[in-house]
Amino acid sequence: MESGKERFSILQVIRSRSSIRTFARESVPKETMEELGKLLTRRDRGPFGNICRFGLIDSSLYPQSDLGSISTYGVIKNPYGYLVGAIQKADRSLVDYGYLFQRILLEATRLGLGTCWLGGTFRPEKIASLFPLQPGEIIPAVSPFGIPAEKRSLIDGVLRWGASSKIRKPWGQLFYDASGSSLKEGDCPLFQDALEAVRLAPSAMNRQPWRVVIEGRNAHFFLDTKEDRKYPVRFTELDLGIAMYHFEAVLQEESIQGKWEFSPPRTSYGHPEWEYTASWSS
Ligand SMILES: Cc1cc2nc3c(=O)[nH]c(=O)nc-3n(C[C@H](O)[C@H](O)[C@H](O)COP(=O)(O)O)c2cc1C
């Protein structure tokens, strides 16, 4: 949680976040709930122009047994509530959902709340009974929220980072230059922190399917379809959206201007198994 007036950088928030599946049997303070509520009323579009609808299921309004049956396999314990959302089925709407929902989850992390993306282990029909859907909408993923059982402050999370608690692929397997050669940390000062934020992004089953090629001041995002085949397609689109949000949020904080474009490069940079998603140009 943020202490005093200190505001953590988005990269610190990203470093401190990890999936929380067990929550304390403790109420979320009223002011925190109000702040959380404010995050959900923004009706922004994702980079591909789709608008998503978000909402909050507050445990104090429902019997605990109702909330308990939202997640399957007993993965989630004692959630205070659920962050939920819906989107129309449309071209790349899942990428937009990933992008917009991750923005909410990072702000929730900043508020000291634990969260966990659930794309598979939840009951959509149960959510829909509490968050009614409009025609044509689907619920791609939800997240429980609450006070983490193992209480860690945001700064603890940042410090724990020093002990390297996250299991992620190294730079060389994720980021490349225009000749198709691997990049290592420090090779690309302009995008150093933004790429690190991509590397730390959560992904379904921690598959980390994103690949990024840096060409001058442009960053081309691809999906490695070798990873894609291992799990449902819709998750990889969510993963890409999450990574795109991490990338953009860091650059925004560093005042590096740019925008997303859909402009497929003429080459696959020596990796025909990659599928193009979007490019950032600054
Ligand atoms: C799109 C997406 C779907 C996910 N679905 C589930 C899920 O159904 N159940 C679950 O326990 N975790 C789920 N996760 C959480 C991932 O397993 C987790 O983010 C990943 O292992 C990395 O760990 P971290 O979030 O602690 O950094 C999902 C994550 C993403 C991004």
Let me know the angle formed at the C-alpha of 209 by 203 and 213, rounded to the nearest 5 degrees. 125
Mean pLDDT of 96-116: 97
- Assess whether 15 and 114 both reside in one domain: yes
- 266 CA from centroid of ligand 1 (Å): 33
Q: Which residue has the higher pLDDT, 199 or 229?
A: 199
pLDDT value for 164: 44
pLDDT at 226 over 90: no
Mean pLDDT of 191-201: 98
Atom of ligand 1 nearest to the CA of 21: 11
> Hey, how many other C-beta atoms are within 10 angstroms of the C-beta on 44?
11
φ/ψ (deg, to 5) at 145:
-145, 160
Mutation pick for ligand 1 pocket among 117, 169, 200, 235 (CB with most ligand atoms within 8 Å): 117
- Assess whether 34 and 144 both reside in one domain: yes
**Where does 75-125 show beta strands of DSSP type E?**
81-88, 114-115
DSSP bridge partners of 259: 281
pLDDT at 148 over 60: yes
Pocket residues: Cβ below 6 A from ligand 1:
18-19, 75, 116-121, 141, 166, 202-206, 235, 238-239, 242
**Is residue 29 situated within a structural domain?**
yes
- Give residue-wise pLDDT tens across range 156-180: 565 555 444 578 999 999 999 999 9
Query: Based on the structure, what is the number of domains in the chain?
Result: 2
- Give residue-wise pLDDT tens across range 241-260: 999 999 999 999 999 999 99
- Assess whether 145 and 190 both reside in one domain: no
**Is residue 159 situated within a structural domain?**
no
- Give residue-wise pLDDT tens across range 7-66: 899 999 999 999 999 999 999 999 999 999 999 977 779 999 999 999 999 988 887 667
Mutation pick for ligand 1 pocket among 94, 95, 206, 244 (CB with most ligand atoms within 8 Å): 206
Domain termination site, one of 154, 187, 207: 154
Mutation pick for ligand 1 pocket among 14, 19, 160, 200 (CB with most ligand atoms within 8 Å): 19
**Is residue 24 situated within a structural domain?**
yes
CATH number of the domain at 45, please.
3.40.109.10
The pTM assigned to this predicted structure is: 0.93
Atom of ligand 1 nearest to the CA of 140: 1
**Is residue 101 situated within a structural domain?**
yes
- Assess whether 115 and 186 both reside in one domain: no
- 217 CA from centroid of ligand 1 (Å): 31
Residues 6+ apart with CB under 8 A from 97: 46, 50, 52, 85, 87, 140, 141, 238, 241
For the chain, give the percent of residues with pLDDT over 70: 90
- 235 CA from centroid of ligand 1 (Å): 10
Q: Enter the DSSP assignment of 117.
A: -
| Mean pLDDT, rounded, of the chain | 90
DSSP bridge partners of 281: 218, 259
- 259 CA from centroid of ligand 1 (Å): 27
pLDDT band at 73 (very low <50, low <70, confident <90, very high): confident
pLDDT value for 163: 44
- 202 CA from centroid of ligand 1 (Å): 6
- Assess whether 112 and 63 both reside in one domain: yes
Task: Tell how strand 259-261 and strand 274-281 pair up.
Answer: antiparallel
Domain, as residue range, for 26: 10-154
- Cα(142)–Cα(116) distance, integer angstroms: 8
Q: Which of 197, 271, 205 is nearest to 236 (CA)?
A: 205
Query: Burial code of 178-190, b = ≥16 C-beta within 10 A, e = fewer?
Result: eeeeebeeebbee
Q: Whose CA is nearest to atom 13 of ligand 1?
A: 118
pLDDT band at 6 (very low <50, low <70, confident <90, very high): confident
- Assess whether 14 and 144 both reside in one domain: yes
